[in-house]
């Protein structure tokens, strides 16, 4: 078996330190160019799941960082330095959490085995600019959210179970076999049924016949030996304790996240067709919740209210339903109905940033700015890089007469929304309003964030 990564690993000139640096720079590009999911319910779930599986990998010289990308393709991939990316399409199309955990385990195996780092070393790509340039070039043309978005996994060539290969960094069959076996170890250690890895393979194979060519996981076409991989994993089952296969799925959180992705992030027409295909007497509270969200998006508010009420009647204590029903009433301007629902959701789950966000906005509409600002600042601490949170915080500060803080927050909002012209505008406004030492310190931080210093030039052209 290939040795695990350690802090002192060195393959020629490509060290773990270099790997961390390269991964960090690539992650910045992804966040600047691709639609990252910041919904705390979705992002938090995926981060928790990745951490649950990663707990069982050998100690790594870098943290494992999980990110969710809004994309319909069934894909997940990893890059050097412990960065793992999961597409919403993968979450939506898996049938159980364990199958998603199997993909994550496979990706973490690639990370712990440093497969990409080893491929780069074999390519003798020890110049930082050439490495980053290769990865950056693979993002060209797919950042705009068009039809080519589904090819990201192919482009970056670092995904694997549902991801991809490329002429530059494709995994070998031996790499995939190693990641299958090691990923299975992680999956089982995390408490999941080993059968779920094969079930995940079968879902991908089945989806091959139901999705367009641009969204077929490249893995399926470039590695046609999927059946043989299922075969050798099944051979392993014969040597595993029978009780491993008696483990049951706990999909409560998984199904909630699927509902949010389907109802809020996919085409409203497609989501509506999905829910309408379910006989009314068989719809669960999450099905009614999904319908309520879809009808809200379609501005069919009477139908939406009916669906939310049905969801609430079936599951009156469900925190997500309370939150989303409160959010609906906020959307249609019925604050007196929204407020008690959101506050009940907050009492049940005080860490839900989305609930606090709408509680703050209600206080803002009531011009209770002191409480609104205090609450929205808490939300910004919980979700620090969300454009909408900083925008509404800036508006509240401006309406209450705190103009320096207002322009500072609006500058952050523009920055996170990738509108540099507007970010610079609000920065200049803030510069003219900074009076106190505290404000000048905050201004310095804002200036460094919006106009970071360029990285120092590499003296010898190689990674250090």
**Which regions of 322-404 does DSSP assign to beta strands (E)?**
none
pTM of the model: 0.84
pLDDT tens digits, one per residue of 193-244: 999 999 988 887 777 544 444 443 443 344 446 677 888 888 899 999 999 9
pLDDT tens digits, one per residue of 384-431: 999 999 999 999 999 999 999 999 999 999 999 989 999 999 999 999
Burial annotation 219-253 (CB, 10 A radius, 16+ → b, else e): bbeebeeeeebbeebeeeeeeeeeeeeeeeeebee
Binning pLDDT at 50, 70 and 90, where does residue 455 land? low
What is the edge-to-edge ordering of all strands in the sheet holding 76-79? 65-69, 83-87, 76-79
- In 3D space, the residue among 122, 79, 107, 77 whose CA is nearest the CA of residue 178 turns out to be 107
Alpha carbons within 13 angstroms on the beta-carbon side of residue 3 total: 8
pLDDT tens digits, one per residue of 168-194: 456 677 778 888 889 999 999 999 999
State residue 315's pLDDT score: 97
Fold designation for 252-450: 1.25.40
- Give domain limits for the chain: 10-246, 252-450
């Amino acid at each position: 078996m290939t040795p695990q990564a350690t802090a002192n690993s060195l393959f020629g000139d490509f060290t773990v330190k270099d790997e961390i640096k390269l991964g960090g720079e690539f992650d910045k590009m992804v966040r600047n160019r691709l639609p990252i999911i910041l919904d705390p319910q979705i992002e938090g779930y995926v981060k928790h799941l990745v951490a649950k599986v990663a707990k069982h990998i050998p100690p790594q010289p870098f943290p494992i960082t999980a990110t969710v990308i809004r994309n319909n393709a069934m894909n997940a991939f990893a890059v050097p330095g412990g960065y793992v990316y999961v597409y919403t399409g993968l979450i939506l199309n898996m049938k159980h959490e364990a199958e998603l955990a199997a993909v994550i385990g496979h990706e973490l195996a690639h990370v712990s085995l440093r497969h990409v780092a080893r491929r780069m070393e074999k390519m003798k790509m020890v110049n930082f600019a050439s490495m980053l340039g290769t990865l950056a070039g693979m993002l060209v043309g797919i950042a705009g959210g068009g039809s080519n978005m589904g090819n990201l996994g192919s482009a970056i060539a670092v995904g694997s179970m549902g991801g991809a290969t490329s002429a530059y960094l494709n995994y070998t069959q031996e790499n995939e076999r190693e990641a299958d076996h090691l990923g299975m170890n992680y999956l089982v250690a995390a408490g999941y049924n080993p059968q779920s890895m094969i079930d995940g393979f079968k879902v991908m194979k089945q989806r091959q016949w139901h999705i367009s060519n641009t969204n077929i996981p490249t893995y399926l076409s470039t590695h046609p030996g999927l059946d043989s991989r299922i075969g050798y994993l099944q051979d392993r089952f014969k040597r595993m304790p029978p009780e491993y296969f008696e483990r049951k799925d706990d999909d409560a959180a998984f199904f909630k996240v699927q509902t949010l992705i389907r109802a809020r992030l996919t085409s409203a027409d497609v989501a509506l067709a999905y829910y309408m295909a379910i006989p009314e007497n068989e719809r669960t509270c999450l099905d009614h919740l999904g319908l309520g969200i879809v009808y809200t998006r379609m501005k069919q508010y009477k139908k939406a209210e009916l669906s939310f009420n049905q969801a609430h009647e079936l599951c009156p204590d469900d925190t997500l339903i309370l939150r989303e029903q409160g959010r609906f009433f906020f959307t249609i301007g019925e604050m007196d109905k929204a407020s008690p629902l959101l506050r009940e959701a907050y009492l049940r789950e005080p860490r839900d940033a989305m609930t606090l966000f709408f509680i703050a906005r209600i206080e803002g509409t009531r011009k209770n700015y002191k409480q609104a600002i205090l609450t929205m600042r808490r939300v910004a601490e919980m979700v620090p890089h969300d454009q909408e949170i900083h925008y509404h915080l800036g508006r509240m500060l401006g309406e209450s007469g705190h103009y320096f803080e207002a322009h500072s927050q609006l500058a952050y909002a523009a920055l996170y929304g990738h509108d540099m012209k507007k970010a610079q505008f609000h920065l200049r406004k803030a510069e003219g309003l900074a009076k106190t030492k505290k404000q000048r310190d905050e201004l310095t931080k804002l200036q460094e964030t919006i106009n970071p210093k360029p990285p120092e030039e590499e003296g010898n052209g190689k990674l250090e």
